[in-house]
Amino acid sequence: MSTTSTLWSTLEERLLPVFADYRSRLAGLPVEVKRDRTLLTKADIEVQELVVAAIRDFDGPDAVVIAEEDGRVGLRSEVAGSGGRVWVVDPIDGTAEFVRGESVEFCSVVCLLEDWRPSAAFVLAPELGRGRVPVSVSACARTSRLRVDGREVPSTRRAEAGMRMSVTRSHGEERPAFDAGARRAGYELKTRTTSQTLDMLRTAVDIGDRTTPAMAPFDLFWRRSQKLWDGAAGLCLAAAAGLRSCDESGEPLTLTPDFLSQATPTFAANVTGRPETVTWFLEAERA
């Protein structure tokens, strides 16, 4: 049986030309604002169709896929019969960055759940690398392996803390209680949303040597009301890296059949990072 690495290679080969084509003609690309105030383009739809087709070529025509742009409004009845094997797809995470020609913080994301837990993940950032070259990252939670551009790399868990947090919030959202305390403690805070997946990736893996300017890793990622497709791959990366993921009460994030059956599965909050930083964060929130 083929491994997920075969699928990841297929996706990279098929998606990169599509991204390059759309990025070459952004000026004429219509942009729609969805009800949740996120953006949608024809590129999102085409990339999703390519990803879902590749998954079903790999895993069979009955593969259960939860994708951001699938238009579901009712319960996903097929999830109950999946046996816990579910694919989660975000065709373009960071569409608002994708439609800005000067920005590179967008990516295509796939996560495989097995036994209702993140098992394998793939993140393809077409222009994130130095000189606007692609960066691909894959994770296997079962073997605790992380790969960047096909080469196995250590997780951020093995490095010293960098005193940085990704604590983005929606426009107009009230500043959280921990914000001032984190700054007093010396943390540098990223508050502007670009790609939640890439911020979670940077919490698990140091890709600074591949980007210009160098994108430093985060010690912690926090987000309220995080949709599944924005977080599933990040949870897999975190599991492979030995990080802690929980809600704001400290309870582990669980992917139950009922949760995954929702039209838009959404975590009340996601706190992911170095275990000691997560502990500090939870205590700061309660203070």
- Neighbouring C-beta atoms of residue 102, cutoff 10 Å: 5
Reported as half-sphere exposure (CB side, CA atoms, 13 A), residue 244 has a value of 18
- Angle among Cα 226, 187, 175 to the nearest 5 degrees reads 50
At 265 the pLDDT is 97
Interior/surface letters 200-214, b for 16+ CB within 10 angstroms, e for the rest: bbbbbbbbeebbeee
β-bridge partners, 165: 189, 220
Average pLDDT of the chain to the nearest whole number = 94
For 3-38, write each residue's pLDDT tens digit. Answer: 999 999 999 999 999 999 999 999 989 988 887 778
Which residue in 144, 133, 136, 190 sits closest to 163, CA to CA? 190
- Cα 37 off chain centre by: 19
Q: For the chain, which domains are there? A: 4-286 (3.30.540.10)
Handedness of CA 230, 232, 235, 237 (dihedral sign): negative
pLDDT band at 2 (very low <50, low <70, confident <90, very high): low
Question: How many whole angstroms from its chain centre is CA 1?
Answer: 27
- For residues 166 and 243, give the distance between their C-alpha atoms in angstroms, rounded to a whole number: 15
Lowest mean pLDDT among 62-66, 172-176, 197-201, 279-283: 172-176
Confidence of residue 1 (pLDDT cuts 50, 70, 90): very low
Q: Mean pLDDT throughout 196-201?
A: 98
Q: Which of 41, 47, 55 is nearest to 17 (CA)?
A: 47
> Strands (DSSP E) along the chain, which ranges?
32-33, 39-40, 65-67, 86-93, 107-114, 117-129, 133-140, 145-148, 151-153, 164-166, 188-190, 220-227, 244-246, 266-273
Nearest-CA neighbor of 121 among 257, 7, 25? 7
Q: Which residues contact 47 (CB under 8 A, 6 or more apart)?
A: 15, 18, 19, 91, 92, 108
Paired tokens of 259: 């949760």
By the 8 A CB rule, do 111 and 236 touch?
yes
Looking at the DSSP bridge assignments, the partners of residue 39 are 33
